[in-house]
Amino acid sequence: MATASAPTAGIPVGPGLSMFDPIFIGIDEFGQHVYITLAYRNLLAGGEPGGGKSGLLNTIAAHAALSVDSRLVLLDGKLVELGQWEDCADAFIGPDITAALDVLRRLQTVMNNRYAWLRAHGRRKVTALDGLSVITVLVDEIAFYSATIGSKQEQEEFVALLRDLVARGRAAGIPVIAATQRPSFDIIPTSLRDLFGYRAAFRCTTPNSSNIVLGHGWAEQGYTATDIAPTNQGAAYLIAEGGTPRRIKVAYLDDAQIAGIADYATWTRRPTRLSAPTGTRVDWETAA
Amino acid sequence: MSKSSPRRSFGRKSIGTVTVIEAKVHRSSARNARMAFILTAVIIGVLAAVVAAAYVHPIIALFIGAAVSVPCGALAWLLVRIWPVLRLLWWWTPEIVLAVLLLTGWVQLATHTSTLVTLAVVAVVLGVPAAVPALRRQVVAWVWCLIVRHRLRVCFAQFIIANQSGSLPLILWATPTPVGERVWVYLRPGLSLADLEGRLDKIAVTCHASSVLVERASDGNAAYLRFDIKRREVLTATVTSPLADVIDPDAPATDRPTPVIPTALDLPDVQAPTITLPVQPKKQTATSANGSKPAPAPSSDADDLSDWL
Ligand SMILES: Nc1ncnc2c1ncn2[C@@H]1O[C@H](COP(=O)(O)OP(=O)(O)O)[C@@H](O)[C@H]1O
Ligand SMILES: [Mg+2]
């Protein structure tokens, strides 16, 4: 399903990066590079606290920030995990469910407009040639929004909007990357969990938790995130739709590196930030 | 061959028949050689006769065909009969080539230079890879590649029963990987991926490795497999993202408006919430539910405490 072939030498970087490119996220157990293509897939990361979920989200955010055709929407109840990307993000939501709902509703409208635009052109999905930006939605600790803050009603609306984005967003170029400690039914409904194309299981305490992330029955076949050593943070099982889980180690950016990339991304994005929205929005209006 | 037959006719049979498989393989090899002789001879003979018939009389052409076919058939017979030897040579080709090269080099060196120079060259050739860690690791990795091909063959020959004629899978090439080696294998009839998956633990032991994985190397051919032999763990290493190296370090730092820095950073700095308001209605409901008199002061304190626990 990957649109671009994996690069053979090194990783393409700089302003030429695109969200339609394969994203480098780490190495597999043979030391080979692991790439995922997020433009048409969603990703769910699960695992115990300190497993490395936020590390994975930051690695993806770094690629998205350096991509030319990308916009970042960040929801982070903890403020600090994704906080360094605030300046290159189009929306950064802290512990505020009203703001979270607002931005999700905006995204839903954008998604509907994009589908109308695609239909008008007789097409089925957004491609790299459309000049539309991929809006990457990163949610750290879903449980905070879906089960902790706000009223019951707001939490339900949050889950409903998120499910809509996950279910329909992929062809419209709005992938969702979410992290939560244990994606059991009381945190995110099973119907929502099963929609994520990529799942990454960081260390879990029971085979059952691992199964909840990876999908049913993998622990019995020997793929269980309980066998990751507690000291080996950032190691995970990654499963892509229809494949078998692979053991990977996620690439890690420390705070200084993130600050450097974020500053650089903010610097390089500023010119496009002024012109791009108007350009695309005009396209939008005429098309829709 | 039944178990009792050798015992019954023990006097007549030679000791050579004790190893049953060997005899079987031997017989099938003889039969194969005969078949190869006949097939080659007939095909080459007919072809030669047909071609020759275009130039000479058909009868003479038949003789020519026969004359050509017999040596060709004999060659085919010989090839099949010495196939086990050829196979052995093929297995050891890299080692043989390496040994020949090294010996030739040594002899040439020894005859053409003085002893001192010879020793110096040998010291450099051996010493440099031994002293430079990166080179040393590379050499060791290659040596393991050579070893692991033989260990895999031992696996197939010793405990992975293939087929009646005892043909072994073709062990193709091996390359070093960061965790060990990767070996490509082409299976012969009688084996499958599933057969091997059940024996990976034994293969790992035979290869002196920590674990072995096997997967298909080609979507279109189930016989073409890839063995991944793991001796080291790479997942414990820290991986950095290459994105960190490509940014321009001179990029101007974003000037953020200094955010309001919160002050109350320790527990004593934050006042306990006034608990009188929530407590009062609780007290009232508790007393009314009990329908009893309001309790004395010490017990009401205890009540509050349990509410908060
Ligand atoms: N890929 C990684 N490689 C090395 N260390 C990591 C990696 N990911 C996380 N860590 C370490 O683990 C700690 C916790 O990781 P974090 O991503 O915050 O976990 P989580 O979000 O799952 O609770 C980090 O502070 C870091 O020191
Ligand atoms: Mg986290």
**Bridge-based pairing state of the strands A176-180 and A134-140:** parallel
Instruction: Identify all chain A residues contacting B230, using CB atoms and an 8 Å cutoff.
Output: 29-30
Instruction: Answer whether B236 sits within 8 Å of A235, measured CB to CB.
Output: yes
Name the least confident of A83-87, A275-279, B90-94. Answer: A275-279
Retrieve residue B14's tokens.
């030679």
Instruction: Answer whether A264 sits within 8 Å of B248, measured CB to CB.
Output: yes
Number of CB atoms found within 10 A of residue A189's CB: 17
pLDDT tens, residue by residue, A23-64 = 999 999 888 899 999 988 999 999 999 999 999 999 999 999
Q: Select the more confidently predicted residue: A84 or A186.
A: A84
Q: Which ligand is nearest to the CA of A250?
A: 1
Name the least confident of A126-130, A282-286, B239-243. Answer: A282-286
Q: Which ligand 1 atom sits nearest the alpha carbon of residue A250? A: 1
Number of CB atoms found within 10 A of residue A16's CB: 10
Q: Select the more confidently predicted residue: B41 or B163.
A: B41
Please, which residues bridge with residue A36 across strands? A23
Contact A204, A226 (CB under 8 A): yes
**Closest chain B CA to residue A64:** B243
- End-to-end Cα, chain A, rounded Å: 28
Inter-chain contacts counted by CB atoms under 8 A, chains A and B: 89
The answer, yes or no, to whether residue A254 has pLDDT greater than 80, is yes
Query: Is A23-272 CATH 2.60.40.10?
Result: no
Q: Which residue ranges form the domains of chain B, and what is each CATH number?
A: 29-81 (no CATH), 94-230 (3.30.980)
- Interacting residues of B298 by C-beta distance below 8 A, sequence separation 6+: none
Which of the 8 DSSP states describes residue B250?
A: T
Q: For B301, what's the count of Cα atoms within 13 Å in the CB-facing half-sphere? A: 2
Q: Does the annotation flag A78 for ligand binding?
A: no
Mean pLDDT, to the nearest integer, of B76-102?
90
Q: Closest to B241 (Cβ–Cβ): which among A87, A253, A262?
A: A253
Q: Does the annotation flag A77 for ligand binding?
A: no
Please, which residues bridge with residue B214 across strands? B227
Q: Closest to B178 (Cβ–Cβ): which among A30, A247, A251?
A: A30
pLDDT tens, residue by residue, B24-42 = 666 777 888 999 999 999 9
Q: Is A234 in the pocket of ligand 1 (CB under 6 A)?
A: yes
Q: Is A77 in the pocket of ligand 1 (CB under 6 A)?
A: no
Q: Closest to B243 (Cβ–Cβ): which among A27, A261, A268?
A: A261
Q: Is A84 in the pocket of ligand 1 (CB under 6 A)?
A: no
Q: Is A230 in the pocket of ligand 1 (CB under 6 A)?
A: no
φ and ψ of A162, to 5 deg:
-65, -40
- The CA distance from B116 to A249, in Å, is 52
Instruction: Identify all chain A residues contacting B232, using CB atoms and an 8 Å cutoff.
Output: none
Closest CA to A250 of A224, A268, A232, A272: A232
The answer, yes or no, to whether residue A11 has pLDDT greater than 80, is no
Concatenated DSSP letters of A53-72 = HHHHHHHHHHHHHH-TTEEE
Instruction: Answer whether B241 sits within 8 Å of A263, measured CB to CB.
Output: no
Helix H or strand E segment including A67: none
Retrieve residue B142's tokens.
């290659």
Mean pLDDT, to the nearest integer, of B77-102?
90
Residue nearest atom 25 of ligand 1, based on CA coordinates: A50
The answer, yes or no, to whether residue B280 has pLDDT greater than 60, is no
Instruction: Supply the pTM of this predicted model.
Output: 0.72
Which of the 8 DSSP states describes residue B203?
A: H
Alpha-helical runs (H) found in chain B: 4-8, 20-53, 58-81, 83-91, 93-112, 115-131, 133-158, 193-197, 200-206, 243-246, 276-290, 297-308
- The CA distance from A73 to B289, in Å, is 51
For residue B56, give the 3-state DSSP assignment: coil
The answer, yes or no, to whether residue A7 has pLDDT greater than 80, is no
Residue with tokens 């997967």: B215
Q: Is A54 in the pocket of ligand 1 (CB under 6 A)?
A: yes
pLDDT in the model for residue A108: 93
pLDDT tens, residue by residue, A148-176 = 898 999 999 999 999 999 999 888 999 99
Q: Closest to A257 (Cβ–Cβ): which among B230, B234, B244?
A: B244
Instruction: Answer whether A30 sits within 8 Å of B253, measured CB to CB.
Output: no
pLDDT in the model for residue B23: 61
- The CA distance from A75 to A52, in Å, is 17
Q: Is A51 in the pocket of ligand 1 (CB under 6 A)?
A: yes
Which of the residues B215, B235, B258, B260 would you substitute to probe the A interface, choosing the one with the greatest number of A C-beta atoms within 10 Å?
Answer: B235
Which of the residues B181, B229, B236, B241 would you substitute to probe the A interface, choosing the one with the greatest number of A C-beta atoms within 10 Å?
Answer: B241
